[in-house]
Amino acid sequence: MKLPSRQILAVISVAALVAACTSSSATTAPGGATCAAAANAVQIEAVSWWTTGGESSGFNAIINKFNCDNPGYFVTNSAIAGGAGSVAQAALQSRVLAGNPPDTFQVHMGHELLDTYVTPGYMDNLDDLYSANGWTTQFPKGVLDIVSAKDAAGATHYYSVPLDIHRANVLWYNKTVFSSNNLTAPTTWDQFFTAADALKAKGITPLAVGDSGIWSNGMLLEDVLIGQLGADKFNGLWTGTTDWASADVTTALNTYKKLLTYVNTDHSSLSWDQAADYLIPASAGAQPKAAMTIMGDWAAGEFDNKGFTDYGYVAAPGGTGIYQALADSFGLPTKAAHKDGVKKFLTLLGSAAGQDIFNPYKGSVPANTGAGNPPADQKQYSTYQKWAMGEWKTDTIVPSMEHGAAAAPSWKGAIETAVTSFVANPDAAALQTALVAACKDAKVCK
Ligand code: GAL
């Protein structure tokens, strides 16, 4: 992955500083202050899968703020590459199961957090932090509901701190390509295929996909399901009230099959960010490699980080007014080695001030409702993010399957296996059979 020259300089200067100080490590905010670890600082290991663009910039910015303000502690971003945690999640799970967890780690709110870590008893509750910081009134109820679990006596306990809210169902497009071809951003799948045909006729790849991690193709499946079923029936897929064998799902799967005929031929060798970069022309005035991509709004962080401003956005077709949400959160493993330091770090992650450091880089909106106005000397929210903040308040919220909120990890795995087969051999009927079976195996459907 190419780094912009400013970033390369920052990396080189941090490396030089680390070498000069012979300290074990140092962190730096993007374009900002560098803090080296004090000799006796308690090292806090935070594991994420944020290695690219706005992702690592945002996390490094908030880590750096913590390290500069808390010289007794030193947090490191031990990132494991692989979008959507496609590599990190298995590694994290085996460390937690082996009783050797990192001090804190990235985990999606919802099933990924609760089924994998909370129910089996691997996490401490964070009730004291929630009450000390007033988070039970600062985070939206829908978020509180899926970072918490009830105990046998019916009391609610909170298990992780949401750092952001991402929207998964967004279509991004190159504005110049659209305007020079007299196209408008599609808001229905019919409009999408009309625009895609026009682009194809001009020799332009309509949709960039990077499914070296199959999750990003699974997101396309979710998008067509949302567009076909609407919010209530889409929700019902995950609760057992919508039949995976229904005609609506059949129609969606045929749309999905058609959609995959408009994508770049090298999709399986690209990561999500490499696919997003296909919208960025190699030089001013050049034709980009593709006109659109459908990806979560971490793509906005990627574009902004690369200095690319010529992008437009709409809800993925059929998803206007439907916000498919997910949140990255961090918790406290019961066997964490440095609990006091983690609690201090989590306090910053959950605070309005901390969220206004991280989210402007990330493309997400803050989970803390008190955030949204960074001080003038910090990075500000983008035009996209200001739009998303409004949508988050007014849209119907549905959960993301691929990003841990809607389905148990084992169910997600079964769907990804079915999607992998489908991408190799696009047989919509076989896919539907596999999806019906996956829901039964998950014990959500009868
Ligand atoms: C998601 C995660 C986002 C972003 C994305 C791509 O699962 O929630 O924060 O990192 O993967 O890696």
Domain match, 111 and 34 both: yes
Residues 101, 213, single domain; the answer is: no
Distance 108 CA to ligand 1 centre (A): 9
Q: Which residue has the tokens 């590599």?
A: 87
> pLDDT at position 25, please?
79
Q: Is residue 237 domain-resident?
A: yes
The DSSP call for residue 268 is G
Instruction: Judge if the beta carbon of residue 55 lies within 6 A of ligand 1.
Output: yes
Domain-located, residue 34: yes
Q: Say if CB 332 and CB 123 are below 8 A apart.
A: yes
17 pLDDT higher than 60: no
End-to-end CA separation in angstroms for the chain = 46
Indicate whether 193 and 315 sit together in one domain: yes
Q: Is 139 in the pocket of ligand 1 (CB under 6 A)?
A: no
In DSSP terms, 104 is beta-bridged to 46
Both 110 and 143 in one domain: the answer is yes
Angle of helix 428-441 versus helix 409-424 axis, rounded to 10: 170
Q: Is 297 touching ligand 1 by the criterion CB < 6 Å? A: no
Asked, for residue 446, whether it belongs to a domain, the answer is no
Please classify residue 24 by burial: count the beta carbons closer than 10 Å to its beta carbon, then call 0-12 exposed, 13-18 middle and 19+ buried: middle
Question: What burial letters (b/e) apply to 299-313, b meaning 16+ CB within 10 Å?
Answer: bbbbbbbbebebbbb
Closest C-alpha to ligand 1, atom 11: 84
Clarify whether residues 78 and 198 are in a common domain: no
Q: Is the CB of 328 under 6 A from ligand 1?
A: yes
According to DSSP, the β-strands at 26-28 and 34-36 are antiparallel
**Do both 146 and 261 map to the same domain?**
no
Q: What Cα–Cα distance (Å) separates residue 315 from each residue in 29, 324, 401, 403? A: 32, 10, 17, 17
**Residues 419, 296, 274, 188, CA torsion sign:** positive
Classify residue 347: in a domain, yes or no.
yes
What pLDDT is recorded for position 8? 36
Other Cβ atoms closer than 10 A to 22: 8
H-helix or E-strand spanning residue 77: strand 73-79
For residue 432, give the H/E element and its range.
helix 428-441
Same domain membership, residue 173 and residue 83: no
Judged by average pLDDT, the poorest of 19-33, 65-79, 111-125, 129-143 is 19-33
> Is 270 found in the same domain as 129?
no
User: What element of type H or E holds 255?
Assistant: helix 247-259
Q: In one letter, which amino acid is 318?
A: G
Q: Answer whether 79 contacts ligand 1 (Cβ < 6 A).
A: no
Q: Which residues of 155-177 are buried (b: 16+ CB within 10 A; e: fewer)?
A: eebbbbbbbbbbbbbbbbbbebb
Residue 18 has pLDDT above 80, yes or no: no
For the record, the structure tokens of 236 come out as 């019902």
Q: Within a domain: residue 264?
A: yes
72 inside domain? yes
Within this chain, do residues 151 and 52 fall inside the same structural domain, yes or no?
yes
Q: Kindly state the average pLDDT of the residues 72-84.
A: 96
Percent of the chain with pLDDT over 70: 94
Radius of gyration of the chain (CA): 22
CA dist., res. 297 & res. 272, Å (int): 11
Segment 51-78 mean pLDDT: 94
Q: Which pLDDT band, with edges at 50, 70 and 90, does 30 fall under?
A: confident
Mutation probe of ligand 1 site: the residue of 403, 412, 416 with most atoms within 8 A of C-beta: 403
Atom of ligand 1 nearest to the CA of 50: 10
Indicate whether 317 and 338 sit together in one domain: no
CB 276 within 8 A of CB 293: yes
For the chain, what is the mean pLDDT?
Answer: 94
CB atoms within 10 A of CB 319: 29
Q: Which CATH number do you get for residue 155?
A: 3.40.190.10
Same domain assignment for residues 160 and 171: no
Q: What is the pLDDT of residues 154-174, one digit of tens each?
A: 999 999 999 999 999 999 999
**Nearest CA to 231 among 106, 274, 96, 239?**
239
Give the mean model confidence (pLDDT) for residues 173-196.
98
| Residue 250, phi then psi, degrees to nearest 5 | -60, -45
Q: Which atom of ligand 1 is nearest to the CA of 55?
A: 10
Domain holding 347, by residue range, is 5-165+329-393
Q: If you measure from the C-alpha of residue 22 to the centroid of ligand 1, how many angstroms do you get, rounded to a whole number?
A: 33
Q: 200-236: per-residue pLDDT in tens?
A: 999 999 999 999 999 999 999 999 999 999 999 999 9
Ligand 1 centroid to residue 134 C-alpha, Å: 27
**Domain for residue 186, yes or no?**
yes
Q: Residue 56 domain-assigned?
A: yes
pLDDT per position as a tens digit, 349-359: 999 999 999 99
| Mutate which of 1, 47, 48, 50 for ligand 1 pocket (most atoms within 8 A of beta carbon) | 50
Is there a single domain that holds both residue 385 and residue 419?
A: no
Where does the pLDDT of residue 2 fall: very low under 50, low under 70, confident under 90, or very high at 90 and above? very low
Domain count, the chain: 2
- Tell whether ligand 1 has an atom less than 6 A from the beta carbon of residue 166: yes
Q: In whole angstroms, what is the distance from residue 297 CA to residue 325 CA?
A: 10
pLDDT, tens digit, for every residue of 371-389? 999 999 999 999 999 999 9
CA distance 28 to 36: 9
What's this model's pTM, rounded to 2 decimal places?
0.93
Nearest CA to ligand 1 atom 5: 84
